Amino acid sequence: MPTRPDGYQLTTPRPEHFGLIRGVEVAAAERFSFSDLPEPLRSHMVPPADLFRAKTEGRLWATLAPGHTPVGFAMVEPQEDAIHLLELSVHPAHGRRGLASWLLDHIAECARSQSVSTLTLTTYRHVPWNAPFFEARGFVEIPEPSIPTYLRDTLDREIQAGLHAEHRIAMARTL
């Protein structure tokens, strides 16, 4: 389990961490305006069964604070020739410490080890800790006509769920 000098660890979470991971989701969602993240999306959390499945399949990682409390997590899924980031959340009390970047770097390393050369995600265009954050880490917006079907379907589901189409984008990072 990689450990940083400040005591944070990156690991595969255990099932007993899942409730705390859900707390990370709730706290991270509170940073968004109600216009950007309306109810019921604001209170939607990854179901424990999905967390367990992702853990079992090697698609879920968590950052633990000193004391072994989960304060961030990332969940991915394989898609075509890419690894798609389903969710990346860090508790705001532990923000701006490089934990999200650490998780992204770990995901990139895992993708490379599987001979996957692309990471993808959907995110908010206008939220500073979304698209600009990912751009600073090598992601670029995918032009509309070039968006792969699975990302187009993801964007469509997000819009149908109540997110504003003009604010959502698909991004990719070549590894």
How many helical (H) and strand (E) elements, i.e. helices and strands, does the chain have?
5, 7
pLDDT of residue 44: 85
pLDDT of residue 98: 98
Mean pLDDT, each 10-residue run in order, the chain (175 residues):
94 96 95 88 90 98 97 97 98 97 98 98 95 98 97 97 96 99
Question: CA dihedral in degrees (96, 102, 108, 110; nearest 10)?
Answer: -150
- Would you tell me how many other CB atoms lie within 10 Å of the CB of residue 141? 16
pLDDT of residue 3: 93
pLDDT of residue 118: 98
